[in-house]
């Protein structure tokens, strides 16, 4: 079961309220950052028309977007690999509004989970009726289906969505008021939705670099969350975590001991390049010991009898000490 929460007035209020608390003069709109240059005394952040200096920088955009910035000095190799090998998903969100929530009247929840096909573009829908009672259904066209359907005309997607809703909820679904959609792949500063994902191998060896500060640069954003990664909850968690990191760096006296511990974050084992050392490091002891015995046993079968006898003798002498 997925818990769904709505915010009366829309979630954009979060950004608006934060901007008001900071003060309008502190927020720059239409000023995308192009370069970040670190020095001994601080950081210089450049846009197309302005330059700012500060003590630290927090980068919250998705990894594949952060990779497009110019860094001096260049990012560490691990961070570059993360940025280059964390593609973002493809998702189209649509909302269909109706005169009434007819699905509720018929005893339906409005939630549809289905396998997308040539006729049905979406994979899931939810009841998006507003707190004021405006009836609506929200749904998502995701993955390969989003890639396929994004090349078609809006009217074709709309008609396919409505026809599928009729199939599942009844003929009332055809009497909609309005259809609107958002293809995040067309957004210049996100490039997709809902979250960047790591290709095979990246999570195993390079995940710690996702949150590890680089000099005066700290990383946030929902991709760096330890819970609800990809969701707004994850974005908020990452903001709280990075705020504690920066305060611990600039004004540690303002933090409680508990906050200082939280700023350090969970212990992150060092990424290893060879598979065997990785297995030894991350595997529970009983499993590790079993793997070691199996490996040694296989090795003994391949050596000469005399050498095998000597090795067994050394192992027997070693075990009590262990």
Is 127 in contact with 101 (CB distance < 8 Å)? yes
**Domain of residue 204, CATH code:** 3.50.50.60
- Residue 9 domain-assigned (yes or no): no
Shared domain check, 41 and 170? no
Shared domain check, 140 and 108? yes
- The verdict on whether residue 223 carries a ligand-binding annotation is yes
pTM strictly above 0.95:
no
Shared domain check, 111 and 156? yes
What lies within 8 Å, CB to CB, of 189 at 6+ separation is: 32, 61, 65
Is 224 in contact with 211 (CB distance < 8 Å)? yes
pLDDT for 208-220, tens place per residue? 888 999 999 999 9
Question: Which residue range forms the structural domain that includes residue 298?
Answer: 283-318
Report the C-alpha gap between 147 and 190 in whole angstroms: 16
- Residue 7 domain-assigned (yes or no): no
**Domain of residue 125, CATH code:** 3.90.660.10
Domain count, the chain: 3
CA 42 to centroid of chain Cα atoms? 29
- Residue 220 domain-assigned (yes or no): yes
- The verdict on whether residue 181 carries a ligand-binding annotation is no
- Residue 288 domain-assigned (yes or no): yes
Shared domain check, 243 and 215? yes
pLDDT for 84-113, tens place per residue? 888 888 999 999 999 999 999 999 999 999
- The verdict on whether residue 2 carries a ligand-binding annotation is no
Shared domain check, 303 and 161? no
pLDDT < 70 stretches in the chain = 1-6, 265-322
Shared domain check, 159 and 101? yes
Shared domain check, 233 and 251? yes
């Amino acid at each position: 079961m997925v818990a769904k929460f709505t915010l009366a007035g829309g979630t954009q209020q979060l950004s608006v309220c934060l901007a008001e608390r900071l003060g309008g003069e502190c927020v720059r709109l239409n000023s995308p950052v192009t370069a970040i240059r670190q020095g001994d005394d601080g950081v210089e952040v450049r846009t197309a028309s302005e330059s700012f200096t500060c003590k630290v920088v927090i980068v919250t955009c998705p990894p594949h977007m952060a990779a497009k910035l110019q860094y001096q000095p260049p990012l560490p190799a691990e961070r570059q690999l993360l940025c280059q090998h964390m593609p973002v998903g493809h998702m189209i969100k649509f909302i269909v509004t109706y005169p009434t929530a007819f699905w509720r009247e018929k005893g339906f929840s409005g939630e549809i989970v289905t396998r997308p096909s040539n006729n049905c573009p979406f994979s899931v829908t939810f009841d998006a009726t507003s707190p004021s009672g405006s009836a609506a259904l929200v749904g998502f066209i995701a993955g390969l289906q989003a890639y396929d359907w994004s090349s078609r005309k809006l009217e074709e997607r709309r008609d396919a969505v409505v026809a599928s809703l009729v199939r599942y909820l009844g003929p009332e679904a055809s009497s909609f008021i309005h259809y609107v959609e958002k293809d995040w792949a067309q957004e210049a500063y996100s490039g997709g939705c809902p979250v960047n994902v790591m290709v095979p191998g990246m999570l195993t060896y390079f995940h710690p670099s996702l949150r590890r500060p680089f000099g005066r640069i700290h990383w946030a954003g929902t991709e760096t969350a330890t819970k609800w990664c990809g969701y707004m909850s994850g974005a908020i968690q990452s903001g709280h975590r990075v705020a504690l990191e920066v305060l611990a760096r600039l004004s540690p006296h303002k933090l409680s001991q508990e906050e200082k511990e939280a700023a350090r974050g969970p212990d992150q084992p060092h990424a290893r390049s060879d598979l065997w050392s990785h297995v030894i490091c991350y595997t529970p002891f009983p499993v590790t010991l079993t793997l070691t015995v199996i490996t040694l046993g296989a090795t003994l079968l391949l050596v000469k009898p005399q050498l095998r006898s000597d090795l067994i003798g050394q192992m027997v002498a070693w075990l009590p000490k262990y």
